[in-house]
Amino acid sequence: MSRETVINWALALGLLAVPFLALMQGEPFYITLATRVAILALAGVGLNLALGLGGMVSFGHAAFFGLGGYAAGILATHAFNQEPLFAWPFMVSGSNDMLLIWLVAIVLSAVVAFLIGLIALRTSGVYFIMITLAFAQMIYYFAISWPAYGGEDGLSIYVRNGFPELNTLDPIQFFLICYVVLMACLFISARLRDSRFGAALQVARQNPERLAATGIAPFNIRLVAFVISAAMTGLAGALFADLNRFVSPSMLSWHVSGEIMIFVILGGVGRLFGPLAGAALFIVMEFYLGGITEHWQFFLGIILLCVVLFVRGGILGILAGRRVHG
Amino acid sequence: MTLALFIEQLLNGIQFGVMLFLMAAGLTLVFGVMGLINLAHGSLYMIGAFLCATVALATGSFWLGLVASLAGAAAAGAIVEIVVIRRLYDRDHLDQVLATFALILIFSEGTRWVFGSFPLYLDIPAALQGAVSLPGGAQYPLYRLSIIVVGVLIAFGLYLLISRTRLGMRIRAGESDREMIGALGVDIRTLYTVVFALGAALAGLAGALVGAIQSVQVGMGEPVLILAFVVIVIGGIGSIKGALIGAILVGVVDTLGRILLPNFFELFMGPSQATSVGSALASMAIYILMAIILAVKPQGLFAAGSQ
Amino acid sequence: MKKLIAASLLGLGLTVSAGALAEPVKVGMITTLSGGGSGLGVDVRDGFMLAAKMAGNKDLEVIVEDDARKPDLAVQIADKMIQKEKVDVLTGIIWSNLAMAVVPSAVGQGVFYLSPNAGPSMLAGKGCHENYFNVAWQNDNLHEAMGGHANSAGFKKTFILAPNYPAGKDALTGFKRFYEGDVADELYTKLGQTDYAAEIAQIRASGADSVFFFLPGGMGIAFMKQYAQSGVDIPVMGPAFSFDQGILGAVGEAALGVKNSSQWSKDIDNPANKAFVEAFQAEYGRLPSLYASQGFDTANLILSAMQKADVKDADAFRAALKEADFDSVRGDFKFDSNQHPIQDIYVREVIKEGDVLTNKIIGVGLEDRSSAYVGDCKL
């Protein structure tokens, strides 16, 4: 087993242990915190696929995070009010079944990512960063000014959505749902990375001409990766809405795009478990610094800056050492 | 809408564009020469406004404040370049985005720490108070006309600087071939510091000029930062000409969109719904513009050099 | 007070000293202390802490944390305060969207929530809750009062504008609820917009006899400065938010003479208000704002309920809160059935006292105003 594998296992088991320790200590709040880490890590796992593997620096993943959140919020609201979502051309009603909501969140994010990708992937470098940002801003302003679902005030989910056979209101059970989803997506990421598709994606990043010479269009490979990446982040958004029992346009803001990116970079770009390590560290810092000083953002900034400047390769870079392959 | 009003609104759009240009010029210069994405550019804009307000309050002179904002922002830029930014030139865009994102947090909270949580007061100088009559009868604020003049002067000054001076020659050389210019014996570290400080000074100046007609408060740099990025991406990153044209395009589209779109939708629907749909679309207009331009020209209108 | 500020800067729990009976009450304050808009949070906190200090009741324990104006962070802090710190009462949120994120789930977990600023219509009507009390106003109130004022001032054709988001729409709806004249035009601007040249040109061209605007924070500062420079001399009016103490200094002389509506003003003549204004200036070296007065009243409401009931007995404590048996700095104050205030909304004018811009009451916009949504509330 390589050092990175050991650390990955430690991270996975460590996250799993937190809520149970919290329960033993009678501190249920830490379960919520661990759930938050799991969900935000999932958003990062999604971005990591585009960013780490495909080299696509998306500064607009908040769009998918927010869309996933709104999918959950809107369906739940309609279910709560017992109003159909739309009655024509066929009847679609709301739902508070998590599985269905996840599916909608995934499909919605994927479709939007496909459309954005069609345009954005024609560009590269800074242009790509900025055009993804622009699309996210478009959706953000749309959400703020669209009155039907609360606009800037957002949308409350009065009863957390349900999962067959489980009580999602129980923090531990909800944590476990999020944890399993996170692990499943990590597993999918790992399989994708080691598949022929993953190999093609990495070649598309490093040497697109070579890939084109083999008859595979780099554009298509990137587009597929971008869509999968967005779908995972969208799924995280749906879970995040359920965690907070609330969605609002702030999930779509460019700060969120920046934060998701921070999780990935903090943990180590392209590392499978990087987003988990990064999200965990970020949340813990936000939580403790916020309790110590009202100027916590100042210190958070300094810490982040030091990480970028002096710790190349993120947390997993320090712990697991440099990667063998390039 | 009368023709006079339309012309006035067009002028408003151009004036808004010129304000954006002041901000975008520094950003695009820094990117063109050093290949650096600087999200903290908005913080330098904020610093300029805060310094101007503080000095103007202490001395009673807006002009001294303006000098302070130029000097202070340039100094802040030089310090940031030496301490942080120069370590980022050989990194990828990802590290640059994260590091300068961290700088935003530091600057915003640091400014609040020093200046407090309440917005500061900054008024335009007495000499530029009031409005002038335009041909056609409309009144137009003198200060806004002055901003247009300053913006045009700076655009012209930058053009001269880059095309006519030794510094400009080095900047152009740096844009086209970064290794080469070092080999030619130009002190590249100093050159980069100077360029970054120049960009910072422009941002500081913009902050001070705009602060006088807007609100001097923490976080004021962020909305304008995003707009400035839209501008330079539309114009082609690294191109001063592109930044000017992009800025005016964005200014005009945004301003006219706000005015015309609600009226346009009133042709098809009730007034309240039209206002709501039109306003929503207006706030998205510049992003739609950017998406369209990049879809057609992925490198922006005036792509400069390689990147 | 130095110590008190230092302690709250440290963000950790702080206990205000002196003696009384009853069970200790733990209050969690989630408010905006960093980034844009932090001035409002700072004022609410300072007003609250001042009341706590003046009462000297050591059974009141307050924990303060910064939400950085992020809904998800506010939710996280609320969960922490409820689940980890075991607070009895939450308060402090400034913004409607944060309140909508926190309040339903917080009151659902059995704690009390006292709003010192935000009053979204949902929580006043359909979404009202027995544990939710609003100590400020329902969001529409100040705008409604300005509509009333526009009638008495004889305006016939008003140009109205607000940002394109729910609070902006509520503002214009609130204004029109009582306004009897014509609307020259209704405009929604982009949230966070800082340049209003185009809107001002439209105002000039509209032939309106007055302008009503709701543009909170930096938007209002920008609008007022640009309006003053534009040469347009149609009278302007708006809710207190753009003309309150914390912001007036930044707006400057451009605000002089503007009529604005508020449920509080520093010249309301009652002993509680006099004592508050004096103590606030002595403690913090600045004039109190609307927000500080709301924080101050919120703390005094909690203190009054503590005198009557044990917080662990939720029904008794709720009844004690509902009596609102405290000396409000606004004068008369009582709760309607939806647990939102019934109060007078004044019209103030911006004046200059020596070198300082401040407000003076010139009349009452609406007397004993409750909220439009009280009928939808099933309490």
Percentage of chain C exceeding pLDDT 90 = 63
Judge whether B97 is closer than 8 Å to chain A, CB to CB.
yes
**pLDDT tens-digit readout, A44-80:** 999 999 998 888 999 999 999 999 999 999 999 888 8
Hey, what are B200's tokens?
Answer: 């910072």
Distance CA C18, CA C27 (A): 17
Q: Is pLDDT above 50 for C270?
A: yes
**Gyration radius (Cα) of chain C, Å:** 20
Return d(Cα C134, Cα C136) in angstroms, integer. Answer: 6
Binding partners of A (≥3 Cβ pairs within 8 A): B, C
Highest mean pLDDT among B190-194, C4-8, C112-116: C112-116
Asked whether the beta carbons of residue A144 and residue C80 sit closer than 8 angstroms, the reply is: no
Distance from chain centroid for Cα A240: 9
Q: Using CB atoms, list chains with 3+ pairs below 8 Å to chain B.
A: A, C
What pLDDT score was predicted for residue A247?
92
Contacts of A146 in chain B (CB under 8 A): 280
If pLDDT is split at 50, 70 and 90, which confidence band does B274 have? confident
pLDDT at res. B182: 66
Residues of B in contact with A298 (CB under 8 A): 105-106, 109-110, 113
Residue type, B248: I
Provide, rounded to the nearest whole percent, the portion of chain B with pLDDT above 90: 37
CATH fold group of domain A3-320: ABC transporter involved in vitamin B12 uptake, BtuC (1.10.3470)
- Whether the CB of A301 is below 8 Å from some CB of chain B: the reply is yes
Compute CA distances B238 → A13, B26, B28, B170, B192, whole Å.
48, 10, 5, 15, 15
pLDDT in the model for residue B181? 67
pLDDT surpasses 70 at C286: yes
Task: Say yes or no: A288 contacts chain C, CB-CB below 8 A.
Answer: no
Residues of B in contact with A268 (CB under 8 A): none
Confidence bin at C1 (pLDDT 50/70/90): very low
Q: Which H or E run contains A86? A: strand A84-86
What's residue A1's pLDDT? Answer: 66
Contact C234, C209 (CB under 8 A): yes
Residue that has been written with the tokens 């609201």 in this structure: A77
Nearest by CB to residue C101, choosing from A145, A244, A293, is A244
Q: How confident is the model at residue C2 (pLDDT cuts 50, 70, 90)?
A: very low
pLDDT score recorded for residue C17: 39
A102-111, A251-260, C246-255: range with lowest mean pLDDT? C246-255
Q: Which of B40, B16, B93 is nearest to B200 (CA)?
A: B40
**Mean pLDDT score, A220-242:** 95
Secondary structure E strands in chain C = 14-15, 25-31, 60-66, 89-91, 112-115, 132-134, 157-163, 182-189, 210-213, 236-239, 259-262, 334-335, 341-353, 356-369
pLDDT tens track for B87-114 = 998 888 888 988 999 999 999 999 988 9
Average pLDDT over residues C251-268: 92
Q: Which residues contact C146 (CB under 8 A, 6 or more apart)?
A: C175, C212, C237, C238, C239, C259, C260, C261, C347, C365
The answer, yes or no, to whether residue C379 has pLDDT greater than 60, is yes
Which long-range contacts (C-beta less than 8 Å, at least 24 apart) are formed by B247-250? Answer: B247/B17, B247/B18, B247/B20, B247/B21, B247/B24, B248/B13, B248/B14, B248/B17, B248/B18, B248/B21, B249/B17, B249/B289, B250/B17, B250/B20, B250/B286, B250/B289
User: Cβ neighbours of residue A305 under 8 Å, at least 6 residues apart?
Assistant: B84, B99, B102, B103, B106
- Supply the pLDDT for residue A228: 96
What's the mean pLDDT when you consider all of chain C? 89
Confidence of residue C277 (pLDDT cuts 50, 70, 90): very high
In this structure, how many other beta carbons lie within 10 angstroms of the beta carbon of residue A310? 8
Q: Reduced to 3 states, what is the DSSP secondary structure of residue A186?
A: helix
Tell me the percentage of chain A whose pLDDT exceeds 90: 53
Percentage of chain C surpassing pLDDT 70? 94
pLDDT attached to residue B49: 95
Report d(CA C304, CA C327) in Å as an integer.
9
pLDDT tops 90 at residue C360? yes
Per residue in C64-122, pLDDT (tens digit) is 999 888 888 899 899 899 988 899 999 999 998 899 889 988 998 899 999 999 898 88
State the best of B213, B216, B255, B261 to mutate against chain C, taking most chain C CBs within 10 Å: B213
Name the closest residue on chain C to residue B279, using Cα atoms: C188
Q: Are A12 and A324 in contact (CB under 8 A)?
A: no
Asked whether residue B293 carries a pLDDT value surpassing 80, the answer given is yes
Q: Please tell me the predicted confidence (pLDDT) of residue A210.
A: 85
Average pLDDT of the segment spanning C266-275: 94
* Domains assigned to chain C: 2-137+267-335 (3.40.50.2300), 141-262+345-376 (3.40.50.2300)
- pLDDT-derived band at A317 (thresholds 50, 70, 90) equals confident
Distance from CA of B129 to the nearest CA of A (A): 35
Chain C residues inside the 8 Å CB shell of B272: 186
Give the residue, A43 or C79, on which the prediction is more confident.
A43
In one letter, which amino acid is C84? K
Average pLDDT, chain B: 87
Q: Which of A244, A252, A255, A285 to mutate to test the interface with C (most CBs of C within 10 A)?
A: A244
Find, among C234, C213, C233, C210, the residue nearest to C152 by Cα: C210
C62/C372 Cα distance (integer angstroms): 33
Average pLDDT over residues B255-270: 85
**Residue A2 touches chain B, beta carbons under 8 Å:** no
pLDDT of residue B306: 37
Residue B179 banded pLDDT, cuts 50, 70, 90: low
User: Any idea which of B44-58, B62-76, B263-277, C278-292 has the lowest mean pLDDT?
Assistant: B263-277
Residue type, C122: M
What type of residue sits at position A279?
A: A
Rounded (5°) CA angle C72-C78-C83? 125
pLDDT, tens digit (0-9, with 9 covering 90-100), for C173-216: 999 999 999 999 888 888 888 889 889 989 988 999 999 999 98
Q: What is the rounded CA–CA span in Å between residue C33 and residue B113? A: 11
A177 neighbors A98 (Cβ within 8 angstroms)? yes
Number of A–C residue contacts, CB under 8 Å: 109
Task: Give yes or no for a contact between C222 and B122, defined as CB atoms under 8 angstroms apart.
Answer: no
Number of Cα atoms under 13 Å in the Cβ half of residue C173: 14
ipTM of the complex as predicted: 0.86
Answer left, alpha or beta for residue B104, where phi above 0 means left and psi between -120 and 50 means alpha. Answer: alpha
